């Protein structure tokens, strides 16, 4: 079996569903169920003997020791993190705790557990750390995309905390020989993404006739990847990634935010026309995010060359699937928006008007 952390969040939930659909081993999902964790994402697995949920914190060493001894997992796939840049600007503390201390606690307990295994068990064990392209900092328009050797230059409390966790993972391989692999992926989009991130926020606001907030001039560039392609890349790194290595994952799909928002508006005009007029009328330029990185872009040639992974979706197919998913899951969005989400919207957007 494998132990997944943070599997009730956006990418983790997609990964677990995808892993079991592809005939993977049993999964235990350790998740603290923060505001971003939603057990509903895995409702389809209720009663499935291959899946078990454990509610708990990756900063809890006793729980981790107990779980590893009981489960004897072949791999740990580590997604659990605080993941939203804007929240890290308002309150970096939780990012330091979960992303740095949590990863450290997981590494420490994994190292102790790994030391108790047989030679074969030690050889087969994997610690896969899921990270982000944001650790590399911001690119100028003419810069080449990030490669695995681009120096780290994190600019937000979120990216700095992820960079720290990447360094810890690297050190645990280098110093103790723990069999780690790290993935650095670009911006994901797709089903189950919490509507605080750009794409699901724009879809749900547009459907509700609310303003579509665009930070600054809307020309910040991200390299968007459909979440199912990220999950497939993680599976291939788990199966064939070289120990101690890092793999960049991206969609070769750089786009400015304004283009993303306009594409969503056009799709909604076709699928859910609004009598009040085209959805683009809702676009609203607001005060920029402090320290806003201008451009991210990933050079994914290493994973393509070594592991034969390539994205299956284009942006056109991925975004159409995503918009349809949100249209078909209005109840899922409504549940999220009924809770503390409103306070977040007031806090983040109230001061931008
Ligand atoms: P998310 O915020 O949707 O989910 C995070 C999950 O971790 C939630 O279920 C939450 O309950 C859980 N969690 C948080 N703190 C925890 C703790 N202390 N103990 C146990 N569980 C805890 O995040 P996501 O977008 O699914 O991202 C998953 C991972 O992928 C993160 O490590 C993130 O840095 C990385 N990543 C995300 C993107 C992206 O575009 N979303 C891109 C590249 C990498
Ligand atoms: P986001 O989804 O928060 O991901 P990240 O900051 O990790 O890249 O934001 C994607 C881009 O969209 C980023 O350049 C910030 C911008 N953005 C807006 O313009 N408006 C918004 O309301 C949000 C949430 C993001």
Kindly give the distance from the C-alpha atom of residue 196 to the centroid of ligand 2, in angstroms, as a whole number: 9
Ligand 1 binding pocket includes 34 (Cβ within 6 Å): yes
Query: Is 334 among the domain residues?
Result: no
Kindly give the distance from the C-alpha atom of residue 7 to the centroid of ligand 2, in angstroms, as a whole number: 22
Ligand 1 binding pocket includes 222 (Cβ within 6 Å): no
Query: Ligand 2 atom closest to Cα of 214?
Result: 19
Answer for the pair 165, 100: CB distance below 8 angstroms, yes or no.
yes
Query: Is 267 among the domain residues?
Result: no
- Within 10 Å of residue 312's Cβ, how many Cβ atoms? 11
Query: Is 279 among the domain residues?
Result: no
Closest CA relative to residue 82, chosen from 192, 196, 3: 196
User: Which two structure tokens, joined as six digits, stand for 246?
Assistant: 């890092």
Ligand with minimal distance to 259 CA: 2
Query: Is 127 among the domain residues?
Result: yes
Query: Is 340 among the domain residues?
Result: no
Q: Where are the alpha helices (DSSP H) in 177-248?
A: 198-207, 227-240
d(CA 110, CA 71) in angstroms, rounded, equals 12
Does this model's pTM top 0.85? Answer: yes
Residue 226 annotated among the catalytic residues of the structure: no
Structural domain including 115 reads 2-193+224-254+294-313
User: Which two structure tokens, joined as six digits, stand for 174?
Assistant: 């280098």
Query: Is 323 among the domain residues?
Result: no
Of 81, 165, 182, the one to substitute when testing ligand 1's pocket (max ligand atoms within 8 A of C-beta) is 81
Q: What's the CATH number where 236 sits?
A: 3.40.50.720
Ligand 1 binding pocket includes 157 (Cβ within 6 Å): no
Closest CA relative to residue 135, chosen from 146, 127, 119, 124: 146
Q: How far apart are the first and last CA of the chain?
A: 49
Full pLDDT tens readout for the chain, 353 residues: 999 999 999 999 999 999 999 999 999 999 999 999 999 999 999 999 999 999 999 999 999 999 999 999 999 999 999 999 999 999 999 999 999 999 999 999 999 999 999 999 999 999 999 999 999 999 999 999 999 999 999 999 999 999 999 999 999 999 999 999 999 999 999 999 999 999 999 999 999 999 999 999 999 999 999 999 999 999 999 999 999 999 999 999 999 999 999 999 999 999 999 999 999 999 999 999 999 999 999 999 999 999 999 999 999 999 999 999 999 999 999 999 887 888 889 999 998 86
pLDDT of residue 341: 85
Q: Count how many domains the chain has.
A: 1
d(CA 144, CA 280) in angstroms, rounded, equals 32
Ligand 1, atom 37, lies closest to the CA of 132
Query: Is 19 among the domain residues?
Result: yes
> Each residue of 243-260: b (16+ CB within 10 Å) or e?
ebbbbbbbbbbbbbbeeb
Of 6, 233, 311, the one to substitute when testing ligand 1's pocket (max ligand atoms within 8 A of C-beta) is 6
Q: Which residues contact 348 (CB under 8 A, 6 or more apart)?
A: 86, 90, 196
Ligand 1 binding pocket includes 80 (Cβ within 6 Å): yes
Query: Is 304 among the domain residues?
Result: yes
d(CA 107, CA 174) in angstroms, rounded, equals 13
Kindly give the distance from the C-alpha atom of residue 147 to the centroid of ligand 2, in angstroms, as a whole number: 22
CB hemisphere CA count around 212 (13 angstroms): 25
């Amino acid at each position: 079996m494998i132990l997944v952390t943070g599997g009730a969040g956006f990418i983790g939930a997609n990964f677990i569903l995808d892993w079991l659909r592809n005939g993977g081993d049993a999964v235990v999902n350790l998740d603290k169920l923060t505001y971003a964790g939603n057990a509903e994402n895995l409702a389809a697995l209720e009663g499935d003997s291959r899946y078990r949920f454990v509610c708990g914190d990756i900063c809890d060493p006793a729980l981790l020791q107990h779980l590893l001894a009981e489960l004897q997992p072949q791999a740990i796939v580590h997604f659990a993190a605080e993941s939203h840049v804007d929240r890290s600007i308002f309150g970096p503390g939780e990012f330091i705790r979960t992303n740095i201390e949590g990863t450290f606690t997981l590494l420490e307990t994994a190292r102790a557990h790994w030391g108790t295994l047989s030679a074969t068990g030690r050889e087969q064990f994997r610690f896969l750390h899921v990270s982000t392209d944001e650790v590399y900092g911001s690119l100028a328009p003419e810069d080449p995309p990030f490669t695995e050797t681009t120096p780290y230059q994190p600019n937000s409390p979120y990216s700095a905390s992820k960079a720290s966790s990447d360094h810890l993972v690297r050190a645990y391989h280098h110093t103790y020989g723990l069999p780690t692999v790290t993935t650095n992926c670009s911006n994901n989009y797709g089903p189950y993404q919490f509507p605080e991130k750009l794409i699901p926020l724009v879809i749900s606001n547009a459907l509700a006739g609310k303003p579509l907030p665009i930070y600054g001039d809307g020309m910040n560039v991200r390299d968007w990847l459909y979440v199912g392609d990220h999950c497939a890349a993680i599976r291939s790194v788990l199966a064939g990634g070289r120990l101690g290595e890092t793999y960049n994952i991206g969609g070769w799909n750089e786009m400015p935010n304004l283009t993303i928002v306009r594409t969503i508006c056009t799709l909604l005009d076709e699928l859910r026309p609004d009598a009040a007029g085209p959805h683009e009328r809702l676009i609203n330029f607001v005060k920029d995010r402090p320290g806003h990185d201008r451009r991210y872009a990933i050079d994914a040639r290493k994973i393509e060359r070594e592991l034969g992974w390539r994205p299956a979706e284009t942006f056109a197919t991925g975004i159409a699937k995503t918009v349809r998913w949100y249209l078909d899951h209005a109840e899922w969005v409504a549940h999220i928006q009924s809770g503390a989400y409103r306070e977040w919207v007031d806090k983040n957007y109230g001061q931008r008007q």
